[in-house]
């Protein structure tokens, strides 16, 4: 296994505290500011982080229960709209993220070593294992948090264009 399980689990466990403190630093108007075409608002990134956690928990549960699960891609709408109506209020999004992350960690701390080497299949990836999924969860969290920080602080000329 090429994933430092303890380091990744520590990162996942710390994310809710880091995310909550980070969001608290950003002015409410700035969280709603649309910086340009192809950009999400900070609030939309937070909403996305909260809404994808149940899907990730389900993937973890399937890896725990199935021999070689087959997954389908999770693709948010290209127009940047959330999957279900408006964005969750930020306090609800943070609470939802934190709650599901707790449940994910309960599962991850409760599994045996064999869990970490299970293989599944996913049409987007050449290789898909539990270790890759768990590391991907961490990277996904921090990519969105980095993007939120960039949307908060970067001047327009230096904002990464995602188009």
Instruction: Tell me the per-residue pLDDT of 95-108, one tens digit each, with 9 for 90 and over.
Output: 999 999 999 999 99
Residue 152 lies in a domain: yes
Residue 139 lies in a domain: yes
Q: How many domains are there within the chain?
A: 1
pLDDT of residue 2: 65
- 109, 17 contact by CB (below 8 A): no
How far out from the chain centre does Cα 87 lie? 15
Residue 93 lies in a domain: yes
The H-or-E segment that residue 133 falls in is helix 130-153
Residue 163 lies in a domain: no
- Residue 16 clears pLDDT 90, i.e. is over it: yes
Show Cβ contacts of residue 98 under 8 Å, excluding neighbours closer than 6 positions.
Answer: 16, 20
* Number of Cα atoms under 13 Å in the Cβ half of residue 91: 0
Mean pLDDT of the region 82-98: 85
- Residue 85 clears pLDDT 90, i.e. is over it: no
pLDDT of residue 42: 96
Instruction: Provide the CATH number for the domain around residue 102.
Output: 1.20.120.450
Residue 162 lies in a domain: no
In tens, the pLDDT along 25-77 reads: 999 999 999 988 778 899 999 999 999 999 999 999 999 999 999 999 877 65
Structure token digits, residue 80: 């940047």
Residue 122 lies in a domain: yes
- Residue 82 clears pLDDT 80, i.e. is over it: no
In tens, the pLDDT along 113-124 reads: 999 999 999 999
- Residue 80 clears pLDDT 70, i.e. is over it: no
Residue 40 lies in a domain: yes
- Structural domain that includes position 98: 5-73+82-156
- Residue 162 clears pLDDT 90, i.e. is over it: no
Mean pLDDT of the region 132-152: 97
Residue-wise burial string across 117-153, b where 16 or more C-beta atoms lie within 10 A, e elsewhere: ebebebeeeeebbbbbbbbebbeebeebbebbeebbe
Residue 109 lies in a domain: yes
């Amino acid at each position: 296994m090429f994933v430092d399980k303890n380091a990744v689990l520590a990162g996942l466990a710390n994310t809710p505290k880091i995310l909550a403190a980070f969001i608290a630093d950003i002015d409410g108007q700035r969280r709603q500011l649309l910086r340009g075409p192809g950009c999400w608002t900070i609030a939309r990134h937070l909403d996305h982080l909260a809404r994808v956690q149940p899907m990730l928990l389900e993937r973890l549960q399937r890896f725990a229960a199935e021999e070689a699960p087959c997954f389908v891609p999770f693709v948010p709408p290209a127009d940047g709209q959330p999957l279900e109506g408006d964005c969750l209020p930020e306090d609800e999004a943070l609470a939802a993220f934190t709650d599901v992350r707790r449940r994910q960690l309960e599962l991850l701390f409760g599994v045996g070593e064999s869990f970490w080497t299970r293989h599944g299949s996913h049409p987007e990836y050449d290789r898909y294992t539990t270790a890759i999924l768990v590391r991907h969860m961490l990277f996904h969290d921090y990519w969105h948090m980095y993007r939120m920080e960039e949307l908060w602080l970067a001047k327009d000329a230096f904002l990464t264009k995602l188009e």
